[in-house]
A and B are shown apart, each in its own frame.
Chain A
Amino acid sequence: MTPQPATSGAAGGIGRRTAGHRLLWPALVLLALLLGNLAFHHDFFSVRVRDGHLYGSLVDILRFGAPLVLVALGMTLVIATRGIDLSVGSTVAIAGALACGHLAGAARPGSVAATLTAVGLALGVALVLGLANGLLVSGLGVQPIVATLILMVAGRGVAQLITDGQIVTVTSAPYKMIGGGYWLSLPFAVLLAAVLVALTSFVTRRSALGMLIESVGGNPTASRLVGIRAGGLLVLVYVFSALCAAVAGLMISSNVSSADGNNAGLWIELDAILAVVVGGTALTGGRFSLGGTVLGALVIQTLSTTVYTLGVPPETTLVFKAFVVIVVCLVQSPVFRAKAVRRRAATPRPPTTAGATPQEQEARA
Chain B
Amino acid sequence: MSTGTADTAARRARPFPAVSPRTRTRVPLLVTAGLLVVMFGVGSVRYEGFLSAQVVLNLLIDNGFLLVVAVGATFVILTGGIDLSIGSMVALSTMLTAWLVQSHGWPLAAVIPLVLLTGAASGALMGWIIHTFEIQPFIVTLAGMFLARGLCYTISTESITIDDPATTGAAQTRLYGPGGLFVSIPVLIALAVLVTAFVVLHHTRFGRNVYALGGNESSARLMGLPTGATKVAVYGVSGLCSALGGLLLTLYTLSGYALHAMGMELDAIAATVIGGTLLTGGSGFVLGTALGVLVLGMIQTLVNFQGTLSSWWTRIVIGALLLVFIVLQRLLGGRRSTAR
Contact = CB atoms under 8 A, between A and B. Distances in A.
Indicate, yes or no, whether A interacts with B. yes
Interface string B46-80: 00000000000000000000000000000000000
B150 A157 contact: no
Contact of A157 (B146, B280, B313, B339): B313
A145 B138 contact: yes
B340 A141 contact: no
A152 B266 contact: yes
B320 A329 contact: no
Contact of A315 (B139, B157, B337): B157
Contacts of A67: none
Given A145-B82, A315-B153, A334-B134, A160 B310 contact: yes
B280 A143 contact: yes
Interface in B121-147: 129, 132-136, 138-140, 142-147
B316 interface: yes
B312 interface: yes
A121 interface: no
A84 B340 contact: yes
Given A84-B138, A153-B318, A161-B312, A335 B153 contact: no
Interface in A134-155: 136, 140-147, 149-155
Contacts, number: 139
Given A318-B153, A321-B146, A335-B134, 14 more contacts: A84-B138, A140-B327, A144-B340, A147-B326, A153-B266, A154-B323, A160-B312, A220-B338, A317-B150, A322-B146, A322-B150, A326-B143, A330-B135, A332-B135
Contacts of A147: 326
B112 interface: no
Contacts of A155: 319
B270 interface: yes
B279 A146 contact: yes
Interface of A: 82-84, 136, 140-147, 149-158, 160-161, 164-165, 220, 261, 270, 273-274, 277, 283-284, 313, 315-323, 325-326, 329-330, 332-336
Contacts of B319: 150-151, 153-155, 157
B150 A325 contact: no
Nearest to B322: A150
Interface of B: 82, 129, 132-136, 138-140, 142-147, 149-151, 153-154, 157, 258, 266, 269-270, 273, 279-280, 310-316, 318-320, 322-323, 326-327, 330, 336-340
A143 B330 CA distance: 10
Contacts of A156: 312, 315
A153 B340 contact: no
Contact of B143 (A261, A329, A334): A329
Contacts of A315: 150, 153, 157, 258
A94 to B, nearest CB: 12
A149 B266 contact: yes
B142 A319 contact: no
Contact of A158 (B270, B316, B326): B316
Contact of B316 (A154, A317, A322): A154
Q: Which of B266, B273, B318, B322 has the most CB of A within 10 A?
A: B322
5 contacts: A140-B327, A154-B315, A154-B323, A161-B313, A323-B147
A9 to B, nearest CB: 24
